[in-house]
Amino acid sequence: MSRADLSAPLLSIFEKVKLEYLKAKKSGDLELARRKALECAKILRLLAENSPGLRDLYLEKASRWIRTARSLKQESGAEKPRIPPLSDNNLKIGLEDLIAKTRVKWNDIGGLWEAKRLIMETIVIAGLKRPESIKPWKGILLFGPPGTGKTLLASAAAGSLNATFFNVSIDKVLSKYFGESSKLISALYSLAREKAPSIVFLDEIDALTLSRRRETSDALRRALSSLLIQLDGLKIGGNEPLVLTIAATNAPWDLDKAILSRFPRRIYVPLPDRRASKEIIRICTRGLDISKLRLDDLAAKCVEKLYSGRDISNLCQQAIWNMVRDVNRDLYRLAELPYEKIRSMRLKVRPLLMEDFEDAFRKIRSPLTKKDIEAYERWNEKYGEY
Ligand code: ADP
């Protein structure tokens, strides 16, 4: 599951604001047209930040819109240009695009039995009728090394509830929406309530840490307090719509107390052990013949190399490609055929062999060390759920 890329929502906001500009210009409202042109410039700057490959193009376009706004100012004799904030309505349109479709099911996740059980339990308690003093959790914190299945768990939770899934990278929101982040967070929760049941997945929640930063901006403080207000204000159960926040971090030790205290349910999502590694290999090779593989040996090697679920998935992809290339030697030549003809042909496959994995193991390296893992384990002992 990929993280929320903000360029698609920003582009749709841009198109909308551009239309508003054209309309204003046509109707002769030059002051409104000037403000819309500045808004277009602002969105293009955000796009530039969001798309490194197209940065210069977007910045160049942004300067053109600034020039347009300047010329309109001269025509209308308006006040000093000021880049106006994105309107609430536009934020909401952008947010609609943060809604991710998820078809992930619990059995697409290898291992993590305890984490799955705790999340399922949280969802069930939120839904059941219960005595007033039993309060359901409003949020869950998932912590652990990168690529271990935190996003998958949140997606599966949403999938199992048939809930609206908001997949939000806090780091990206902060860098792309700048001063608008706090507004975006409130708008996000109001949309989540509207579209309940909802799962709001806040990835890289540590980006909201104030205490470890040398510099903290007002925008960051406002964003944090906006999130805390939303979390404190959420009511779950009874006739309230279910809005569950699942936050994730690879750096739990960075979190401020203010955030930690809102997430008393903290679940460790560790690297897969042998049994889990075997399950992940099975999931990643579905539909292929794996009867010739020594799964125990492969799993043991994954554990020894400190592989995450993502590493194992990459390993399997690599091994599958080795097999595909082996039995479809001149695959690229087919590119000369008409596409319809290609569609009618079938890719050749053979059973996966241990040799297919050998070169894949050489290529895939975990960025983690034993020390990193110990740090997660220590944090888990001190602050974790179990
Ligand atoms: P995280 O959010 O912890 O960084 P993700 O959930 O995004 O990690 O996992 C990245 C990818 O790695 C997934 O899309 C999936 O292909 C694979 N993966 C990771 N963990 C598992 C797992 N436990 N079971 C199956 N696949 C996994």
DSSP one-letter string for 152-178: HHHHHHHHHHT-EEEEEEHHHHHHHHG
- Beta strands, E only, 159-234: 164-169, 198-203
Neighbours of 203 (CB within 10 A): 25
Fold of 88-271: Rossmann fold (3.40.50)
| Ligand 1 near 146 CB (within 6 A) | yes
| pLDDT at 214 (0 to 100) | 58
| pLDDT at 364 (0 to 100) | 93
| pLDDT at 210 (0 to 100) | 77
The Å distance, Cα 312 to ligand 1 centre, comes to 9
Most ligand 1 atoms within 8 A of CB, residue of 310, 320, 366 to mutate: 310
Name the residue with tokens 């893992």: 373
- Kindly report, residue by residue over 329-373, the tens digit of the pLDDT: 877 777 788 888 878 888 889 999 999 999 999 999 999 999 999
| Best CA proximity match to 52, nearest among 4, 99, 7 | 7
How far is the C-alpha of 205 from the C-alpha of 252, rounded, in Å?
9
Atom of ligand 1 nearest to the CA of 248: 2
What is each CA distance from 367 to 88, 137, 145, 270, in whole angstroms? 41, 33, 10, 15
User: Which residues of the chain form CATH 1.20.58?
Assistant: 4-75
| pLDDT at 82 (0 to 100) | 40
Token digits of residue 110 = 């290898």
One-letter identity of residue 180: E
How far is the C-alpha of 116 from the C-alpha of 197, rounded, in Å?
19
How far is the C-alpha of 104 from the C-alpha of 124, rounded, in Å?
19
Q: What CATH number has the domain spanning 4-75?
A: 1.20.58
Antiparallel, parallel or unpaired: β 243-249 and 139-143: parallel
- 3-state class (DSSP) for residue 131: coil
| pLDDT at 241 (0 to 100) | 76
Most ligand 1 atoms within 8 A of CB, residue of 104, 119, 148, 285 to mutate: 148
Residue with the smallest CA separation from ligand 1 atom 1 is 147
| pLDDT at 79 (0 to 100) | 44
| Ligand 1 near 147 CB (within 6 A) | yes
The helix or strand, by DSSP H or E, that contains position 248, with its residue range, turns out to be: strand 243-249
Antiparallel, parallel or unpaired: β 266-268 and 198-203: unpaired
How far is the C-alpha of 189 from the C-alpha of 186, rounded, in Å?
5
Residue with the smallest CA separation from ligand 1 atom 25 is 109
The Å distance, Cα 276 to ligand 1 centre, comes to 12
Instruction: Report residues of the chain scoring pLDDT below 70.
Output: 1-5, 74-90, 92-94, 178, 212-216, 235-240, 386
The helix or strand, by DSSP H or E, that contains position 267, with its residue range, turns out to be: strand 266-268
CB 122 within 8 A of CB 140: yes
User: Which residues of the chain form CATH 1.10.8.60?
Assistant: 274-367
Burial 293-304 (b: 16+ CB within 10 A, else e): beeeebbeebee
How far is the C-alpha of 207 from the C-alpha of 224, rounded, in Å?
10
CB 149 within 8 A of CB 185: no
How far is the C-alpha of 51 from the C-alpha of 347, rounded, in Å?
35
CB 269 within 8 A of CB 150: yes
Most ligand 1 atoms within 8 A of CB, residue of 2, 141, 152 to mutate: 152
Fold of 274-367: Helicase, Ruva Protein; domain 3 (1.10.8)
| Ligand 1 near 68 CB (within 6 A) | no
Q: Bin 247: left if φ > 0, else alpha if -120 < ψ < 50, else beta.
A: beta
User: Which residues of the chain form CATH 3.40.50.300?
Assistant: 88-271
